[in-house]
Chains A and B, each alone.
Chain A
């Protein structure tokens, strides 16, 4: 079973609309980290946010906001007043512990967001 599920494969919105990207995760770790990355057409993965499992406080950064809910194992990402430059593939990722106290990132399949003028 997938450990990070991004159920929305593609989303298309018109500029200035709000859009929410969903992420549901599964882990047995009590301490874990969740991430969102943006991958524009250029290909480089851009770090957006990291949230640890003990901090359920929602976060806002400009037009971006994140809603972390442990009760539903979700870490959703909302873009307010979307812009064309927001068009990209967005990945949710989970960092969980493996043998030897190492951690590895497990990635969702990504949501392709198209913001149309």
Chain B
């Protein structure tokens, strides 16, 4: 079975631009979570979606938004990029029907560099 997939793998943007990151969860998983990981630190929770509804939001500015589609895939959008947004963005899927964050399985991540 395919794992969590993310695209693109790498991205280079300039300050002020907008970016969209994509994630497809493991088949059968209905929950998608997004994390930001800055070099040398642990993942920081951004959003969780379950059945197309937002279930949780971390301490990130409104420049960050996300949505989940009927097929459970998800997009993370970041507007007005700042240098500090440079990070590895990780998507995780889980919640096999329960809506609860139990075990989360991570994708390979998207490495975003903002110049």
Tell me if A50 is interfacial: C-beta within 8 Å of chain B: yes
Q: Which chain A residue lies CB-closest to B90?
A: A45
**CB neighbours of A98 from chain B (8 A):** 56
Q: Which chain B residue lies CB-closest to A46?
A: B106
A50 touches B109 (CB 8 A): no
**CB neighbours of A44 from chain B (8 A):** 106-109
The verdict on A102 contacting B42 (CB below 8 Å), with A42-B108, A44-B106, A45-B106 known, is: no
B43 touches A103 (CB 8 A): no
Question: Among B48, B88, B108, B109, which residue has its beta carbon within 8 angstroms of that of A104?
Answer: B48
A107 touches B102 (CB 8 A): no
**CB neighbours of B44 from chain A (8 A):** 107
Binding site for B on A (CB under 8 A): 33, 35, 37, 42-47, 50, 91, 95, 98, 100-105, 107-110
The verdict on A108 contacting B56 (CB below 8 Å), with A42-B108, A44-B108, A102-B100 known, is: no
Tell me if B13 is interfacial: C-beta within 8 Å of chain A: no
Q: Which chain B residue lies CB-closest to A91?
A: B42
Q: Which chain B residue lies CB-closest to A99?
A: B56
Q: List 24 A-B contacts (CB under 8 A).
A: A33-B102, A43-B88, A43-B108, A43-B109, A43-B111, A45-B106, A47-B103, A47-B106, A50-B102, A91-B42, A91-B43, A98-B56, A100-B55, A102-B48, A102-B55, A103-B101, A103-B102, A104-B101, A105-B33, A105-B43, A107-B44, A108-B42, A109-B41, A110-B42
Least Cβ distance of B39 to chain A in Å?
Answer: 10
Instruction: Point out which of B33, B41, B42, B103 has the most chain A C-beta atoms below 10 A from its C-beta.
Output: B42
| Complex A-B, nearest 5 residue pairs according to Cβ-Cβ distance, in ascending order | A107-B42, A45-B106, A103-B101, A44-B108, A102-B55
- Mark out the residues of chain B between 32 and 67 whose CB falls within 8 Å of any chain A CB in the assembled complex: 33, 41-45, 48, 55-56, 58
The verdict on A103 contacting B107 (CB below 8 Å), with A108-B42, A109-B42, A110-B42 known, is: no
A95 CA / B109 CA spacing, docked (Å):
21
